[in-house]
Amino acid sequence: MTVRAPAASVVGAALLLLSGCGTVHFDVPEGARVRLLDADSPAEVHVERTVWYAVWGAVELGDTHTAATIEENHLASARFRTQYNAWDAIINTFTNLLSFSRRRIIVEGNPTREKSP
């Protein structure tokens, strides 16, 4: 049993160092009317960006809101999601040792249509 206790402590410490979180704000520009898209609805615009966090997710190192992406692409309908895949896990395995982690934000949608006179 004495051999397992240090090994369990090392594994526990590693898990604490490699864990992290981060907040992503799914929002729209103030005053905008944006319709939510169903998961299977077609979307003309696909924007994927990576956001970074420090101190295991406690400090945002960039814009973690979706409002700017919606405004830049003039979206009238949108859906949002975060993605964390194997590639992200591999990168975070090393960067989390220094307290940095990353997530990917994906915004998809359809732009507003210009009304013809």
Tell me the DSSP string of 23-48: --B----TT---EEPPTTS--SEEEE
**pLDDT tens figures, 72-117:** 999 999 999 999 888 888 898 889 888 899 999 999 999 987 655 5
pLDDT of the residue at 14: 62
pLDDT of the residue at 88: 87
Checking if the pLDDT of 9 tops 60, the result is yes
Q: List the one residue out of 87, 95, 106 whose CA is nearest residue 26.
A: 106
Tokens of 60: 């945002």
Name 60's bridge partners: 53
**pLDDT tens figures, 33-64:** 999 999 999 999 999 999 999 998 889 999 99
